[in-house]
Amino acid sequence: MLGYSRAQGMALGILIALVIVAPGVLYPVFVMKVLCFALFAAAFNLLIGYVGLLSFGHAAFFGIGSYVTAWTAKNWGLTPELAILLGGLGGAVLGLVFGWLAIRRQGLYFAMITLALAQMVYFFCVEAPFTGGEDGIQQVPRGRLFGVFSLQNDMAMYWVAAAIFLAGFLLLHRVVHSPFGQVMKAIRENEPRATSLGYRTDSYKLIAFVISTFMAGIAGGTKSLVFGIATLTDVHFSMSGEVVLMTLLGGLGTIFGPVVGALVVTGMENYLAPFGAWVTVTQGVIFIACVLAFRRGIMGELGALLKIDL
Amino acid sequence: MFSIFGIPAPLLFGQILLGLINGGFYALLSLGLAIIFGMLNIINFAHGALFMMGAFVAWMLLNYLGINYWFALLLSPLIIGVFGIVLEKAVISRLYKLDHLYGLLLTFGLALVIEGLFRNEFGSSGLPYQIPPILSGAVNLGFMFLPIYRGWVVVVAFVVCLATWLIIEKTRLGSTLRAATENPALVQAFGVNVPRLVSLTYAGGVALAAFAGVLAAPIYSVNPNMGSNFIITVFAVVVIGGMGSIIGSVLTGFGLGIVEGLTKVFYPQASDTVIFVVMVIVLLTRPAGLFGKTA
C-alpha cells in the first residue's frame, strides 16, 4: 500500500504509534519541533537521496515559509491551515525560481549556487521591512483551525502538527514510489542515460525541487505557528547545514532516516544548549564521522543489518 | 573637493578602495579554492575557517611569542600549510574515490569543528590586531586620503595572485601540476609522486587563505566568524568566474570587489546582495561562468 513493503508498513505503524504516544512522555512543544524538522529533512532528502541534488540552501525555503505563515496569520488574521498553505506556496514559488537558476549547473556547482542564493535571501530578510529585521515577527497567533478549533492549547496544536507531518511524510513517500519517482532515481544513477531514453531530466529535477521546497515551506510555516515567532535563524545558513546533518546522520535516501536524524540532532541541541559553541563542534564531528565511516546513516545501517529498506 | 555623479570624490574613491581590498581577499580565496578543486576535485568548505585560523595564528604569534606582523606574514601561511597537509593526509585523502559531494560535506564538518573550537576559546567578540608602525598613517593623494595599510593590502594581494599565476603557468612545477590535474594516472606513470603533489596543492591553497587571513587581521577584528562571513560570497565569486582559469579568478575577485564598493556608494541597501545578483545574471547569460570552459 502506498508503495510500502510489509516491513516498511510495520515501521510506519511504529512511527505513527510513536507520534501518538510521544506527547505523553516528552514535552509536546519539543516533539512538535522534531516533527517540523523531520518534515523539513524528509523534503531535503527527496532531492539528495532520490535525485542526487545537494541543495545547500534549503533554509531559504524553510525560512520564507516561516515568514509568510507568520505574517499572514498575524496581519491578515488567516486561519492556521491557510497560513501554512501560503507558507508552503511561498517556499514553492521561491523554489521554482531558484531551481530554474541552479539546475543550469550540476554537482558541486549546484550546491554552491543554492547556497549563494539562500545567502541572498538571508540578506534580503535582514533588510526587508516585513520581516522585522533582527526582531523577527513575534507573537504570531496560532488562531483557530478552519476558524473553529482554537490551537492555543499545546495539545490541540500538537495534533495539527502531527497530522501535517504525517500527511507530508506520506506524500513525499508516494512521490518517490510513483513512476515520476522512478525517473528521479534514474537521473540520480545516470543522467545521460535518462536523457537518452527521452526524459527531459531538467524538468524532472525542477519539479522535484519545487515539491521539496513546498514541503520545506510547510515545515517552516508550521514551526512559526508552534513557536509563535519567525526569525532570521530560520533563513540562516546554519539552518541549511542542520538539515543536511539530520539527513546525513539518519541516512541519505532512506525513508525513515530524516525523521530519526531530526530527532537525534534536535535532541542533542536541546541537551547541549548550555555548552555554547560545543554544539557546533559536536555537529562538525558528527559530519566528519558520518562521511568517513558511517555513510549509510543510522537507518541505512539498521536496514542493512535487517536486510530491508528502511 | 570635487564630486562625481553628486557623490563627493573622497567617499567614492574610499569605497572603491574598500572594494578593492575585499576584492583582493575574494581573489586570494577563490584562487586557492580553484587550485584545490582542480587537483583534488573537492570544494574546500573549510577554506573560510583556515582563513580565520591564519589571522588567529598571526594574533597568537604576536601576543604569545612577540613575533611581529612581517614574520607572521610568512609563518602563518607555513603553519596553516602544514596543518593543511595533516588534514589532507588524515581525512580528506580517504574520500577521493567517493562522490565529490562527500568532500563538500566533510570539509563543512571540519569548518564547524574549527570555528566552534575557536569560539569556545576566544569568544565571538573579536580581538584587535595593530597595524605595523611602518604601514600606519595615511597619505593625501589630492582626491582622497589613502590609509597606507589599505593600499599595501591591495598591492600585496595583487602581487601574490600574480606570483601564483606565474608559478602555475610558467614553471616546471606548475606544468607538472597542470598535467596531474588533467591526467593523474599518466603523470604518475612518469614517476611523479602524485599523492604528494596533491597534499602540497592542498597546502598551497590553504596557505593562500592563511596569507589573506594575516592581511585581513589589522583591517577586521580577529574573530572566529570572519571566515564564514566570507566563504559563501567567495562561492558566488567562484560560480561567476568559473574555476577554469587562474587569471579569471583573480580578475573576477577584484572586479566584484569594486562592484560591491560602488554599490555601497550608490545603493547601500543592496551592497550585501549585489554579488549574488551578479551571479544570477551570469547564470542566465553564461551558465559556465565568465571564464569557465565547460558547463
Task: Say how many domains are in chain A.
Answer: 1
Q: Is residue A192 part of a domain?
A: yes
Q: pLDDT of A168-224, one tens digit each?
A: 999 998 999 899 999 999 999 988 999 999 999 999 999 999 999 999 999 999 999
Half-sphere exposure of B2 (CA within 13 A, CB side): 3
The answer to whether residue B256 neighbours chain A at the CB level (below 8 Å) is: no
Answer yes or no: is A129 within a domain: yes
Q: Which residue has the cell 492556521?
A: A80
Task: Read off the pLDDT band of B268 (50, 70, 90).
Answer: confident
Mean pLDDT of chain A: 89
Tell me, yes or no, if B274 comes closer than 8 A to chain A by beta carbon.
no
- Compute how many other C-beta atoms are within 10 angstroms of the C-beta atom of residue B248: 21
Residue B249 lies in a domain: no
A256 is a domain residue: no
Task: Select the residue of B109, B120, B235 nearest A277 (Cβ to Cβ).
Answer: B120
Q: What is the DSSP letter of A56?
A: T
In a domain, B253, yes or no: no
Q: Which cell numbers hold the place of B286?
A: 553564461
Closest-approach residue (CA) in chain B for A284: B109
**Of the candidates A271, A282, A267, which has an alpha carbon nearest to the alpha carbon of residue A37?**
A267
- Asked whether the beta carbons of residue B112 and residue A280 sit closer than 8 angstroms, the reply is yes
Q: Please tell me the distance from the alpha carbon of residue B136 to that of residue A42, in angstroms, as a whole number.
A: 54
Residue B264 in any domain: the answer is no
Per-residue pLDDT tens digits for B114-142: 999 999 888 888 888 888 888 887 887 77
Residue B186 has pLDDT above 70, yes or no: yes
Q: Is B219 an 8 Å CB contact of chain A?
A: no
| Contact (CB, 8 A) for A67 and A130 | yes
Whether A117 maps to a domain, the answer reads: yes
Domain count, chain B: 1
Q: Which of B102, B235, B272 minimises the CB distance to A112? A: B235
Beta carbons of A284 and B110 less than 8 Å apart: yes
Name chain A contacts of B115, Cβ cutoff 8 Å.
Answer: 277, 280
The pLDDT, as a whole number, for residue A243 is 94
CB contact under 8 A, A123 and B280: no
> Which residues of B fall within a CB distance of 8 Å from A237?
228, 232
The answer to whether A131 contacts chain B (CB < 8 Å) is: no
Range(s) of the domain holding residue A221 = 22-235
Residue B164: the pLDDT is 92
The answer as to whether A221 is a domain residue is: yes
Domain holding B178, by residue range, is 3-225
d(CA A147, nearest CA chain B) in Å: 40
Core vs surface per residue A279-306: b (16+ CB within 10 A) or e: bbbbbbebbbebbbebbbbbbbbbbeee
